[in-house]
Copies of this chain bind each other. A is one copy, B any other.
């Protein structure tokens, strides 16, 4: 088995044109900038507005990335959909392209579903894709999906498919759950990525493998710096610095706020566009966000339109 992907990954925000169609060129440029800042590409995550994209749109964007020479070993695309058939199609496509992993939401329309039903979903995907290279990262984000991935489900999936179940992104925002997941499964080679850099240092100190975080879209170098130096004497100070920047973005709807910052520092106004049902920041919010970021010396060096 190839070495697993580790470190800091970004659920890459998806650039749209004013007509809401994906802007492939800007997408490729953004991904290259992130990789140059040592950040992996968890494209088609929650912060990518992936569920606002059709399956075909995701596949075209992923093809474009690979064709542009971005290394699929740095990619962990989101491939978990409500429909089993969509999940199989997207996952098989990602594996075929050589992506390091697939980040998989549970099917999220029906609520209160059983672990048996979720097990069957993942088992069917694994069986149908039928490729030893498939590395699945279970995506636990109950505040949005409303469908949690329980520790019992992880245990059962790991036992049934030890070669394909590679890890998890824990976006519960609940450190107790992340810690319990680390304690129970990290020793078995199950790679745990907290869903925010808020828990990057705590995660690394407890056997985590990095983080997959929205803010890695806008603050990649600093987050990677803590990942690379988590054993350093000033690690807690580095963590505090990350928390300060994240705290500013978190005052606003995150996706719209990150896109607004990218629009500003890239000089390309279309970056502010989000697909419905999301809405962009208003003028007052935009001004307040940028003022606060500038006041603490934030910038996005090297970003291009």
Contact stretch, chosen from A53-61, A158-166, A197-205, A209-217:
A53-61
Are B121 and A89 neighbours in the complex by a CB distance under 8 Å? no
Are A107 and B54 neighbours in the complex by a CB distance under 8 Å? no
Are A279 and B53 neighbours in the complex by a CB distance under 8 Å? no
Are B276 and A124 neighbours in the complex by a CB distance under 8 Å? yes
Are A275 and B52 neighbours in the complex by a CB distance under 8 Å? no
Are A277 and B124 neighbours in the complex by a CB distance under 8 Å? no
Contacts of A53 in B (CB 8 A): 83, 85
Are B146 and A111 neighbours in the complex by a CB distance under 8 Å? yes
Q: Which of B89, B107, B143, B278 contacts A277 (CB 8 A)?
A: B107
Distance between A208 CB and nearest chain B CB, rounded to angstroms: 26
Contacts of A111 in B (CB 8 A): 143-144, 146
**A51 to B108, alpha carbons, bound, how many Å?**
9
Are A52 and B83 neighbours in the complex by a CB distance under 8 Å? yes
Q: Looking across the interface, which residue of chain B has its beta carbon closest to that of A108?
A: B109
Q: Which of B46, B55, B145 contacts A54 (CB 8 A)?
A: B55
Question: How many residues on A have C-beta within 8 angstroms of the other chain's C-beta atoms?
Answer: 38
Are B82 and A52 neighbours in the complex by a CB distance under 8 Å? yes
Are A85 and B118 neighbours in the complex by a CB distance under 8 Å? no
**A258 to B110, alpha carbons, bound, how many Å?**
16
Q: Looking across the interface, which residue of chain B has its beta carbon closest to that of A51?
A: B109
Contacts of A108 in B (CB 8 A): 109
Q: Does A240 contact B (CB under 8 A)?
A: no
Contacts of A57 in B (CB 8 A): 83, 85
Q: Looking across the interface, which residue of chain B has its beta carbon closest to that of A86?
A: B54
Contacts of A83 in B (CB 8 A): 51-54, 57
Query: What does the 1/0 interface line of A121-140 toward B look like (CB < 8 Å)?
Result: 10010000000000000000
Contacts of A124 in B (CB 8 A): 20, 276
A84-B20, A124-B20, A146-B146 known; A52-B109 Cβ under 8 A: yes
**A111 to B142, alpha carbons, bound, how many Å?**
11
Give the contacts of A215-270 with B (CB-CB under 8 A): none
Are B279 and A117 neighbours in the complex by a CB distance under 8 Å? yes
Interface centre among A107, A109, A113 (most CB of B within 10 A): A109
Interface centre among A53, A82, A106, A116 (most CB of B within 10 A): A82
Are A276 and B120 neighbours in the complex by a CB distance under 8 Å? yes
Query: What does the 1/0 interface line of A74-106 toward B look like (CB < 8 Å)?
Result: 000000001111100100000000000000001
Distance between A60 CB and nearest chain B CB, rounded to angstroms: 11
Q: Looking across the interface, which residue of chain B has its beta carbon closest to that of A105?
A: B109
Are B52 and A277 neighbours in the complex by a CB distance under 8 Å? no
Other A-B pairs beyond A53-B83, A111-B144, 5, CB < 8 Å: A52-B83, A54-B86, A57-B85, A109-B144, A120-B276
